[in-house]
Chains A and B, each alone.
Chain A
């Protein structure tokens, strides 16, 4: 080995060492993903939550909880464009049972918010629950937030999401034209204001930026039925596949990575997942994810 080669490899080792150590640490700690299956959606939702430690592990008495489902489209539940109202209700009820002071449910919708809240069935499903708020977005509540990200230096985020003690990410698993799939990491766009379309220029990095700032304490992916094409809003039942599954994990990247396999894809196919994994937001390697089926 001559001097030059030595310096090169030493330099490389210095640069790579922290990454290697991180990988090593990550390897010892497997990410846990629970997958519950069944046709009783509230029941499988509860099962999945219990399998990742139960809601009490995430929500403490007196907590202010935000549950962020996907209800961005004027589509009824069977089209798999929005999170299933029964799953949303079950999650909210679990939060309340765990002692949450208040549970707020909202989404920054793409179609008219009134229609989305009605058509998704979520507003109706939550009606009558005490301590639950299902309000439409109020534009003045977006707050310019420093993200210091790689693509987004700052962005407007919803103050109710920022103020919550616990943020529960509750997407429906579906196809997306640009990011191929939209899962937990992409669902975070529902707390973003401003010209959201701008982020499409560098979507994967932008989503890693936002997700690093606003961490999801628990990710529950609704795969009771999934939209396999013409996402994210679909509209054709032929594109919908009923799987009767609910996925839960404290690791958003792991939850997304597992959900990817439901579409016959690999986690590495989804740039958003890869970017988040690289950013240290979670585990995407399936062999380092412990999947518990309940």
Chain B
């Protein structure tokens, strides 16, 4: 791999991506200044699908507009200069690389992926994030590879304690450094970890069949950028292979299998310019604009894509009421439909979640909700003073709220299950839930009640109850409930998620 300018840029952006990935975690500060969401906010596929689905403007996505404009001007440079997945593929390309297109991938397949995705967005089903290359990479890392790294390191560290006990402390500073800067704080196991890793691995395996096969034939972001690139005034001169040489065919990672450069697939890596034995190649703007290809894909594709999106969007709307009632969303999400339209499913909120309360929905939220974040209080609760998920959400699907405002956001409402809750079921004291309830005036309170104990003796027990008006559904009660079978208190979804009002807290008559 020669270090051309494009290569250096690629490596820098990959390093930036990984650095931001590590930054997407609580590291002692309430605010995360730069997170990996920057990549999504500059992602034109996220932008277009968001605009189509939400049908509203969002200033968070301004960088993506700039990226779109830059692509219109320069062409599909993102793939050859920035995309971290592309860089990863380049790094993993086998020595004996093949640039011949895989027949079953070639052709219009990429449009059959992109167009239904966009059309479905128009019909309120935004699944673009499922196939967005950066999201695929991030999910593979977040749900599989990063926890795996953490688990391996932790296991080793724990085993070491088993072997040498307290003496391990002499190595603690080194491990502390790793833990503070590289390893995840908690090694969380996620649902869909296998699927997330598999998708990433499959894309990497495609590289064995053809260089950048994913980018060229499948990637919806690449396809979109390629289409935008058609309008770029920058052209390669000469456009085709020279009769006396033909080296470009070997040098080019993405195109040239037909004798001339396919501008849509050119990722501007400049390999041909650098490698040309005769220095004949240059990329220069030419004016007026001459479009070699039609502006829109064939009509059949366009209509087919539109219909495909419609077919995808309508049936997935069905969601059984039982499913709906179990969907606890991150704090600040008030409307399920609106949330689904905006969520990129990138996995950042789940990566950053302080107590690992958020997990990707596998089937719970229906097909249209796959990979969207769900709060699972029994596994982790929403930390009262934490606002990280809103900070890293690239589209504001989880709103970025100030901490005082976030505390009042309602995720759900806690309800006691008297068949399990100890003071009711076993007539013993407990109220661990009240102890942990973070609401300053306590959304869980208790009262002393004379009850007949299970042993037949009258006794006084503290019976807890929920003050619904000020419960924000953070789930710490369900999380810490010491009943091991099934929590004696459970957070349920409520339709009205209006924030707790100032008046509601404190002055209640019970």
In contact, A112 and B482 (Cβ under 8 angstroms): no
In contact, A236 and B441 (Cβ under 8 angstroms): yes
Q: B244 at interface (Cβ–Cβ under 8 A)?
A: no
In contact, B161 and A177 (Cβ under 8 angstroms): no
Known contacts being A112-B354, A200-B431, is A178 close to B462, with CB within 8 Å?
Answer: yes
Residues of A within 8 A of B378 (CB): none
Complex CA–CA separation, A78 to B426 (angstroms)? 38
In contact, B434 and A115 (Cβ under 8 angstroms): no
0/1 interface trace, chain B 414-449, chain A, CB 8 Å (1 if under): 000000001000101111101110111110001000
Q: B283 at interface (Cβ–Cβ under 8 A)?
A: no
In contact, A140 and B429 (Cβ under 8 angstroms): no
Known contacts being A159-B166, A197-B482, is A232 close to B440, with CB within 8 Å?
Answer: no
0/1 interface trace, chain B 162-199, chain A, CB 8 Å (1 if under): 10001000001000100000000100000000000000
* 21 sampled A-B residue pairs with Cβ under 8 A: A110-B435, A111-B384, A114-B28, A115-B354, A115-B383, A141-B161, A177-B431, A177-B442, A177-B462, A178-B429, A178-B430, A178-B462, A196-B482, A197-B481, A197-B482, A198-B482, A200-B429, A200-B432, A201-B426, A201-B429, A203-B429
Residues of B within 8 A of A197 (CB): 430, 432, 480-482
In contact, A233 and B432 (Cβ under 8 angstroms): no
Residues of B within 8 A of A200 (CB): 429-432, 482
Contact with A178, one of B384, B385, B431, B481 (Cβ below 8 angstroms): B431
Residues of A within 8 A of B185 (CB): 114
In contact, A74 and B383 (Cβ under 8 angstroms): yes
Chain A min CB distance to B181 (Å): 14
Residues of A within 8 A of B354 (CB): 112, 114-115
Contact with A230, one of B166, B386, B442 (Cβ below 8 angstroms): B442
Complex CA–CA separation, A200 to B431 (angstroms)? 8
Tell me the nearest residue of chain B to A200, going by C-beta: B430
Chain B min CB distance to A18 (Å): 29
In contact, B435 and A177 (Cβ under 8 angstroms): yes
Complex CA–CA separation, A231 to B359 (angstroms)? 31
Complex CA–CA separation, A77 to B149 (angstroms)? 36
Chain B min CB distance to A226 (Å): 16
Chain B min CB distance to A63 (Å): 15
Tell me the nearest residue of chain B to A176, going by C-beta: B435
- The size of the chain A interface, using a CB distance under 8 A, is 32
Residues of A within 8 A of B176 (CB): 135
Complex CA–CA separation, A177 to B434 (angstroms)? 7
The dominant DSSP class at the B interface is loop
Q: B502 at interface (Cβ–Cβ under 8 A)?
A: no
- The size of the chain B interface, using a CB distance under 8 A, is 36
Known contacts being A141-B161, A178-B431, A236-B441, is A114 close to B26, with CB within 8 Å?
Answer: yes
Known: A111-B384, A200-B482. 7 other contacts (CB 8 A): A115-B386, A177-B435, A197-B430, A197-B481, A200-B429, A235-B438, A239-B440
Q: A163 at interface (Cβ–Cβ under 8 A)?
A: yes
In contact, A115 and B435 (Cβ under 8 angstroms): no
Which among B431, B436, B480 has the highest number of chain A CB atoms within 10 Å? B436
Known contacts being A74-B383, A111-B383, is A118 close to B28, with CB within 8 Å?
Answer: yes
Complex CA–CA separation, A198 to B432 (angstroms)? 9
Chain A min CB distance to B409 (Å): 16
Complex CA–CA separation, A195 to B483 (angstroms)? 9
0/1 interface trace, chain A 195-235, chain B, CB 8 Å (1 if under): 11110111100000000000000000000000000101111
0/1 interface trace, chain B 152-166, chain A, CB 8 Å (1 if under): 000000100110001
Chain B min CB distance to A80 (Å): 12
Residues of B within 8 A of A178 (CB): 429-431, 434-435, 462
Tell me the nearest residue of chain B to A102, going by C-beta: B169
Tell me the nearest residue of chain A to B356, going by C-beta: A112
Residues of A within 8 A of B455 (CB): none
Residues of B within 8 A of A201 (CB): 422, 426, 428-430
Give B residues with C-beta under 8 Å from A.
26, 28, 158, 161-162, 166, 172, 176, 185, 354-355, 383-386, 422, 426, 428-432, 434-436, 438-442, 446, 462, 480-482, 484
Contact with A195, one of B28, B158, B484 (Cβ below 8 angstroms): B484
Complex CA–CA separation, A140 to B175 (angstroms)? 15
Complex CA–CA separation, A196 to B432 (angstroms)? 9
Residues of A within 8 A of B481 (CB): 197
Contact with B436, one of A110, A114, A115, A140 (Cβ below 8 angstroms): A110
Residues of B within 8 A of A140 (CB): 158, 161-162
Tell me the nearest residue of chain B to A231, going by C-beta: B435
Complex CA–CA separation, A198 to B481 (angstroms)? 9
Residues of A within 8 A of B430 (CB): 178, 197, 200-201
Chain A min CB distance to B154 (Å): 9
Contact with B355, one of A112, A230, A236 (Cβ below 8 angstroms): A112
Q: A119 at interface (Cβ–Cβ under 8 A)?
A: yes
Complex CA–CA separation, A61 to B384 (angstroms)? 43
Cβ < 8 Å to B, chain A residues 229-263: 230, 232-236, 239
Residues of B within 8 A of A110 (CB): 435-436, 480
Complex CA–CA separation, A110 to B432 (angstroms)? 11
Complex CA–CA separation, A115 to B27 (angstroms)? 9
Cβ < 8 Å to B, chain A residues 155-170: 159, 163
In contact, B440 and A234 (Cβ under 8 angstroms): yes
Tell me the nearest residue of chain B to A237, going by C-beta: B440
Residues of A within 8 A of B439 (CB): 235
Complex CA–CA separation, A115 to B381 (angstroms)? 14
Chain A min CB distance to B465 (Å): 13
Complex CA–CA separation, A139 to B86 (angstroms)? 40
Tell me the nearest residue of chain B to A163, going by C-beta: B166
Chain B min CB distance to A120 (Å): 12
The 4 closest A-B pairs by CB, nearest first: A197-B482, A235-B440, A197-B432, A236-B440
Complex CA–CA separation, A159 to B429 (angstroms)? 29
0/1 interface trace, chain A 121-162, chain B, CB 8 Å (1 if under): 000000000000001001011000000000000000001000
Contact with B384, one of A74, A118, A138 (Cβ below 8 angstroms): A74
Residues of A within 8 A of B431 (CB): 177-178, 200
Complex CA–CA separation, A239 to B435 (angstroms)? 15
Residues of A within 8 A of B441 (CB): 230, 236
Known contacts being A112-B383, A197-B481, A198-B482, is A232 close to B422, with CB within 8 Å?
Answer: no
Tell me the nearest residue of chain B to A232, going by C-beta: B435
Complex CA–CA separation, A115 to B484 (angstroms)? 26
Residues of A within 8 A of B158 (CB): 140
Complex CA–CA separation, A124 to B134 (angstroms)? 37
Residues of A within 8 A of B434 (CB): 177-178
Chain A min CB distance to B353 (Å): 10
Chain A min CB distance to B312 (Å): 40
